[in-house]
Chains A and B, each alone.
Chain A
């Protein structure tokens, strides 16, 4: 066994390094970011760790740690602005970063960091000829496989943790994740910095493995190789990238007979995978072996519906039901909008709208299509910034606050086009809703603390109770996408309720529902109102609006036409002409 290792230690270490790199890309991919900067971070790690071990004479472990840290520290200021860019622009920015690094390293010279190898001076960072290290090549596998095993453990514990669910939610639907309280920017940055650290560590390993650093090793083509490992292996789970890395890195050995055609072959493999195997090779494997898709599922709770839920919605556990907040002072109006407007270039979507929603009200917002209702809701929920005017919630001005902050303040919304997390289970969708009301449990999960287990059981219980209330508990472990349309709408509402809102913004919740389903919806809305949740409702279904709302405002062409009780609105001639039409 040790003989085998000793003879093949170079290849085995290469495999581990490739796996580490693939995992570093996987972290960012699982937060829906295509970052091609990992090759550059690898380079940063390589050069920094070499500096430590050669010039400063450090031991290998601290040198590797520093390499990773340098990459992570650079990733922080780089990530903050760059992560705002969407998809393809993000990828391009990261490519640009890589090229700049390569050029700088090839051209710069820092005499103070030079060192001697034997009798020969080695300049730092060594320019185009590369940087030679004075110690013999690394043969020890602990640093590479140790890191790999630690990372595998980390990913294993990440699944089912609050952060893991948050990342999965971001990947599925960033906007929805943000509106239920997930701080998307922060998580993306965490993922980016973590991925940089791992790539930096791998870079340090690589430098010491070959006792040489070639600056051209960290450019665009390297970044593409790393991406290929992850994609070919499959990105649904962390196992995929490891598999892809192992396979592709051992390929040159296996395919030596192809000689000059190796590149054509590897390109062809990538093409075939991307066209026909969206889940990568591991996706194929797991489908064959297990027969169903892997889902991210929390710890299954011990749940039996009748015994645990009382009529008032309280839980046997004793603390407040998932949907109810502690009562707050009833002083001011809950939501106040004054002279709010929003332009898109020359189009004024919302034009000087003012309205007030009192606490406990069910407020209806009606108007023809294109009147600006959804834009108004987008303004309130922080998805859009106002061009003018002010919005205050609970007496606090909320203009420009990001959606996840509003969620913490007690504002929740549903979307006209239903924004669920389709491949996550129904239960997980609701659990993400609890994100803002739970604490991070990742650290505790890494150490298997007993307290964490109990907390997770408790959270799952709260989620299950919500599901039961909406009649969805039997689907708890099904992927959300498999639900019927009406059930999906209810799931979205259950998720919104999980955030413990003071106010619910519902954007056309009755769209696509038949009469029976609409009646159920009416009942639900009345229940919410009875529990003290304020509701702002956009709807076209007039009977529903008239039957459930205390106040109704009518919008047309971005302006508010009228605001009154349903009865008076329906007999207002202006409203009838603009919207209700003649019967």
Chain B
């Protein structure tokens, strides 16, 4: 390790960390939303992330070369896939009253299937988003060693992620639907007794969570030229997403946001400090420590879910 470089962790790297972190945060939002409302760890979230990116690629190749269209496609495909996932993998188990472990395994099974389908569809080749989808251009702030170059692509990524986070927070805190989601998160039985249509709330939760995940997938491809989309891109993020929600607190929206940015920055920091090989292990070291010291995460509540 070079201690001199510590002082020279320049603004560029911090900015890179923020961009990376915004994607992690967006991805983790979907994860944490489902866990908060349903007490399920949806391992298939990363697979949906990947499939939505593929869908956006396919639409871009065949029809429009527009970023906005790509984002909408990713969101829509992601959302619908999430609803389908719930119907197939979780709802039957909910009806049976099966233990939590079964839901986890079920999501693993669907994730395997989705990844396998993408593998077969792409013949393990990496696809690339057409250049016209990704905004061009860059600009530079400042000069000398403190100079920061920001590409429009990265700016779009950050902007979309922030928009998603703000919209979700507004939804959960200020709308009636959000109140219903919070009620189901506290106690499904009580919520049902109060006349809330649980299944509808669950379906909408999955739609929103997976739509966010899908958009995160598209942005993950967009952020670095030449915008690669491959069947295994989910596996790159899924474990980090896990680290984010543990760090931030499962079920906490601000936790995912803060956790995502923290992770992005610490990853960039590790690479900057010359230990790039270990950068993959950092999220897990953090995750581990968190679980031992404070399993509820930075923002999570200690209270367990009522029946």
Contact = CB atoms under 8 A, between A and B. Distances in A.
Interface of A: 34, 81-82, 85, 87-89, 91-93, 95-97, 99-100, 103-104, 106-107, 220-221, 224, 227-228, 231, 260-268, 270-271, 274-275, 278, 345
A96 B113 contact: no
A300 B285 CA distance: 51
A264 B120 contact: yes
B193 interface: no
A87 B116 CA distance: 28
B278 A88 contact: no
A262 B112 CA distance: 10
B43 to A, nearest CB: 9
A85 B41 CA distance: 15
A271 B106 contact: yes
Contacts of B92: 275
B104 A88 contact: yes
Nearest to B275: A107
B246 interface: yes
Nearest to A221: B235
Given A263-B113, A268-B109, 17 more contacts: A85-B295, A89-B295, A92-B242, A93-B292, A96-B287, A97-B288, A100-B284, A100-B285, A107-B278, A262-B116, A263-B119, A264-B113, A264-B116, A264-B120, A266-B112, A267-B109, A270-B105
User: Quick one: which of A104, A261, A274 has the most chain B CB within 10 A?
Assistant: A274
A92 B112 contact: no
Interface string B266-297: 00000000000110110011011001100100
A107 B101 contact: no
B177 interface: no
Given A97-B288, A103-B277, A87 B100 contact: yes
Given A82-B292, A271-B109, A92 B116 contact: no
Contact of A95 (B88, B93, B239, B277): B239
A271 B113 contact: yes
B35 to A, nearest CB: 8
Contacts of A106: 277
A355 B292 CA distance: 37
Given A107-B277, A267-B109, A34 B104 contact: yes
Contacts of B8: none
Contacts of B88: 271
B281 A104 contact: yes
Contacts of A345: 303
B123 interface: yes
User: Which A-B residue pairs are the 7 nearest by beta carbons?
Assistant: A263-B116, A267-B112, A267-B113, A264-B116, A103-B281, A107-B277, A271-B109
Contacts of B201: none
12 contacts: A34-B101, A82-B291, A85-B291, A92-B242, A97-B288, A99-B284, A100-B288, A224-B112, A227-B105, A267-B111, A275-B106, A278-B102
Contacts of A265: 116
Given A100-B284, A264-B120, A267-B110, A88 B98 contact: no
Contacts of A262: 116
A217 to B, nearest CB: 15
A96 B284 contact: yes
Contacts of B284: 96-97, 99-100, 103
A34 B102 CA distance: 11
A265 B117 CA distance: 9
A221 B112 CA distance: 9
B117 A264 contact: yes
A103 B288 CA distance: 15
A103 B291 contact: no
Contact of A92 (B106, B235, B246, B278): B246
A34 B116 CA distance: 24
Given A103-B278, A260-B123, A275-B106, A92 B291 contact: yes
B148 interface: no
A268 B89 CA distance: 11
A260 B115 CA distance: 11
B281 A260 contact: no
A345 B280 CA distance: 38
Given A89-B295, A99-B239, A107-B277, A270 B288 contact: no
Q: Is the interface of A mostly helix, strand, loop or mixed?
A: helix
B120 A220 contact: no
Contacts of A87: 100-101
Contact of A88 (B41, B117, B292): B41
A375 to B, nearest CB: 16
Contact of B93 (A100, A107, A224, A275): A275
B104 to A, nearest CB: 7
B108 interface: yes
B279 to A, nearest CB: 9
B116 A270 contact: no
Given A93-B288, A95-B239, A261 B116 contact: yes
B243 interface: yes
Contacts of B89: 271, 275
Contacts of A93: 287-288, 291-292
B113 to A, nearest CB: 3
A220 B292 CA distance: 20
B108 A270 contact: yes
Contacts of B112: 224, 263-264, 266-267, 270
Contacts of B292: 81-82, 93
B158 to A, nearest CB: 27
A231 B101 CA distance: 11
Contacts of B113: 263-264, 267-268, 271
Nearest to B231: A263
B104 A99 contact: no
A82 B113 CA distance: 30
B98 A278 contact: yes
A85 B292 CA distance: 8
Contacts of A99: 239, 280-281, 284
A99 B238 CA distance: 12
Of B109, B115, B278, B295, which is in contact with the most chain A CB atoms at under 10 Å from its CB?
B109
Contacts of A88: 41, 100, 104
> Among B114, B235, B291, B303, which residue has the most Cβ atoms of chain A within 10 A?
B291
A106 B275 CA distance: 12
Residue among A81, A93, A345 facing the most chain B CB atoms (10 A cut-off): A93
A85 B100 CA distance: 15
Given A264-B117, A267-B111, A92 B41 contact: yes
Given A99-B281, A263-B115, A274 B102 contact: yes
B269 to A, nearest CB: 16
A31 to B, nearest CB: 13
Nearest to B44: A267
B275 to A, nearest CB: 8
A215 to B, nearest CB: 12
A330 to B, nearest CB: 42
A266 B110 CA distance: 10
B105 A274 contact: yes
Nearest to B41: A88
Interface centre among B108, B278, B287, B295 (most CB of A within 10 A): B108
Contacts of B288: 93, 96-97, 100
A264 B110 CA distance: 9
B109 A274 contact: yes
A473 B170 CA distance: 61
